[in-house]
């Protein structure tokens, strides 16, 4: 704050004034202004001080002190007492602290708005009806204008892991996979391809029309509803996709970390993002009893979202569409996908998380890894834009793969649409 002659009124100054008088008058007005500003600050700090009193009580419950130690600390330090006065230095500290907390809460909220920070239900795989009764905040989950769509059962015997160039370099260097730094988990998801789609459609038709001959009921409709990233030839994580046999992965894990025993499989959690509902199955060594509080997958009821049996997962998909463009039309002997209006909804997937302690590597044969590789384009969604650096054009990606696996001929992932159009004689052979 600067004082100039413009702040001095005509009533304050005589027509002639000495330098000493001017200095004295400026000092007087400066003192008055200082008192006014100080008063304003004190008034503005009263609500802050009240809030800080409550904040101190709340923060105290999260401190490393025991209750007895904390009470003793409060009693011996008046500035920490809820009724005590705050010194100017403390006021400044708390003011900056509140700004810091507010800014960090805002930053923490942003990923949630983008779908990056989920709501977790640990130890449960909740279907959509159960999620709706939980009354979580999600503007997609509660939509009531979604056209009818199928909820088939997929029998899946393959896993996939998508990654970018850096991930590919790491996998190549150790000839395997390592766990994440935060939870020590190695993440895969179920790989649902054309054969799984056909098989699921056949079972759905048999259940819906038990007396209708299969050739009369089949019309290749299910793939049209498989529009979510869970079924896509594109990726949300990077240009490179490893697709591996479920049994190969489980056998390697069993031999390397379970002394040949069968790995434990547990219901880890349901994670609800902005649009994605992720059901996670935890795989771990029987030696790790710390996971015993999570239910065993084999103990889940028959109608569970996900089960494991005879070398494959059974996934009862709750929302396979993400972008709804078709409506399921059920007649007397057929199910058809008829054109409908475009509508966005939640979509679900099953992820498989293998527990690997820091330094542990799930080793796989290098040629096996190279043969499992395919190339993915980037899934078109705003939240994927931040991972652009993980997506390369095909020629550049092919060069990296040739460097790491000289005998591997990198191929592009083929869309379900191209597969089924070829099967129906509507297009050229897929790549």
Give 298-310 pLDDT, tens digit per residue: 999 999 999 999 8
Same domain, 107 and 139: no
Residue 161 phi, psi (nearest 5): -140, 115
pLDDT band for 24, please (50, 70, 90 cuts).
low
Q: What is the DSSP letter of 209?
A: -
Contacts of 316 (CB under 8 A, 6+ apart): 127, 151, 152, 153, 303, 304, 305, 306
Residue 56, token pair as written in the block: 């101190």
pTM of the model: 0.72
User: So what's the pLDDT on residue 158?
Assistant: 98
Q: Which region among 60-74, 203-217, 246-260, 350-364 has the lowest average model confidence (pLDDT)?
A: 60-74
Contacts of 48 (CB under 8 A, 6+ apart): 91, 94, 95, 98
Tell me whether residue 226 is in a domain.
Answer: yes
> Is the pLDDT confidence value at 22 over 60?
no
User: So what's the pLDDT on residue 59?
Assistant: 38
- 3-state secondary structure string, 85-108? CCCHHHHHHHHHHHHHHHHHHHHH
Single out the residue in 112, 134, 166 at which a domain terminates: 112
How far apart are the C-alpha atoms of 230 and 416, rounded to whole Å? 12
Region 345-349 average pLDDT: 97
Same domain, 62 and 124: no
User: So what's the pLDDT on residue 212?
Assistant: 81
> Is the pLDDT confidence value at 401 over 70?
yes
Tell me whether residue 8 is in a domain.
Answer: no
Residue 90, token pair as written in the block: 């403390």
Tell me whether residue 3 is in a domain.
Answer: no
User: So what's the pLDDT on residue 211?
Assistant: 83
> Is the pLDDT confidence value at 12 over 60?
no
Same domain, 129 and 70: no
Same domain, 28 and 55: yes
Evaluate whether 347 touches 320 at the Cβ level (below 8 Å).
yes
Contacts of 343 (CB under 8 A, 6+ apart): 143, 145, 146, 147, 323, 324
Same domain, 147 and 21: no
Same domain, 170 and 46: no
Tell me whether residue 1 is in a domain.
Answer: no
Same domain, 216 and 74: no
Same domain, 102 and 227: no
Q: Which region among 26-35, 235-244, 277-286, 409-418 has the lowest average model confidence (pLDDT)?
A: 26-35
Tell me whether residue 66 is in a domain.
Answer: yes
User: So what's the pLDDT on residue 26?
Assistant: 59
Which residue, 132, 122, 380, 75, is CA-closest to 266? 122
- The alpha-carbon radius of gyration of the chain (Å, integer) is 32
Tell me whether residue 284 is in a domain.
Answer: yes
Single out the residue in 87, 112, 137 at which a domain terminates: 112
Same domain, 100 and 185: no
Domain of residue 392: give its range: 120-423
Same domain, 185 and 96: no
The average confidence (pLDDT) of the chain is: 80
Share of the chain above pLDDT 90, in %: 62
Same domain, 48 and 156: no
> Is the pLDDT confidence value at 178 over 70?
yes
Residue 178, token pair as written in the block: 């390592």
Q: pLDDT tens, 107-165?
A: 333 333 334 689 999 999 999 999 999 989 999 999 999 999 999 999 999 999 999 99
Number of domains forming the structure of the chain: 2
Higher pLDDT, 19 or 392: 392
Higher pLDDT, 430 or 309: 309
Q: pLDDT tens, 185-195?
A: 999 999 999 99
> Is the pLDDT confidence value at 400 over 60?
yes
User: So what's the pLDDT on residue 102?
Assistant: 37
Q: What is the DSSP letter of 7?
A: G
Single out the residue in 61, 95, 112 at which a domain terminates: 112
> Is the pLDDT confidence value at 29 over 70?
no
> Is the pLDDT confidence value at 7 over 50?
no
Region 237-254 average pLDDT: 97
Q: pLDDT tens, 47-102?
A: 555 444 444 443 333 333 334 443 444 444 444 444 445 555 555 555 544 443 33
């Amino acid at each position: 704050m600067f004082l100039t002659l413009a702040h001095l009124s005509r009533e304050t100054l005589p027509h002639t004034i000495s330098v000493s008088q001017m200095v004295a008058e400026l000092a007087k007005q400066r003192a008055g202004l200082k008192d006014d500003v100080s008063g304003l600050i004190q008034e503005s700090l009263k609500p802050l001080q009240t809030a800080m009193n409550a904040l101190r009580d709340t923060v105290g419950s999260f401190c490393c002190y025991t209750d007895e130690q904390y009470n003793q600390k409060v009693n011996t330090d008046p500035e920490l007492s809820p009724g005590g006065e705050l010194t100017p230095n403390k006021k400044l500290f708390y003011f900056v602290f509140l700004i810091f907390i507010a800014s960090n809460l805002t930053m923490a909220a942003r990923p949630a708005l983008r779908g990056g920070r989920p709501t977790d239900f640990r130890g449960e795989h909740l279907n959509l009806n159960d999620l709706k009764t939980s009354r979580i905040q999600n503007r997609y989950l509660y939509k009531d204008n979604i056209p009818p769509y199928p909820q088939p059962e997929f029998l899946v015997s393959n896993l996939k892991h998508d990654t970018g160039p850096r991930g590919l370099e790491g996998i190549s260097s150790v000839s395997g996979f390592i766990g994440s730094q935060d939870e020590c988990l190695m993440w895969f998801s179920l790989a649902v391809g054309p054969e799984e789609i056909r098989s699921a459609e056949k079972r759905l038709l048999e259940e819906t029309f038990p007396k209708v001959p299969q050739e009369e009921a089949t019309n290749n409709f299910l793939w049209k509803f498989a529009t979510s990233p869970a079924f896509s030839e594109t990726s949300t994580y990077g240009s490179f996709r490893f697709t591996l046999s479920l049994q190969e992965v489980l056998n390697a894990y069993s031999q390397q970390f379970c002394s040949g025993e069968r790995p434990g499989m547990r219901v880890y959690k349901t994670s609800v993002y902005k649009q994605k509902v992720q059901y996670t199955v935890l795989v771990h060594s029987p030696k790790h009893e710390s996971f015993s509080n999570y239910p065993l997958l084999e103990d889940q009821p028959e109608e569970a979202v996900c089960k494991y049996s005879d070398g494959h997962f059974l996934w009862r998909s709750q929302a396979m569409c993400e972008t709804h463009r078709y409506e399921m039309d059920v007649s007397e002997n057929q199910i058809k996908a008829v054109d409908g209006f475009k509508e966005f909804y939640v979509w679900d997937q099953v992820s498989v998380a293998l527990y690997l302690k820091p330094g542990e590597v799930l080793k796989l044969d290098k040629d096996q890894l190279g043969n499992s590789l395919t190339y993915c384009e980037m899934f078109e969604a705003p939240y994927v834009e931040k991972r652009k650096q993980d997506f390369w054009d095909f020629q550049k990606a092919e060069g990296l793969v040739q460097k790491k696996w000289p005998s591997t001929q990198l191929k592009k992932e083929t869309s379900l649409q191209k597969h089924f159009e070829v099967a129906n004689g509507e297009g050229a052979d897929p790549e």
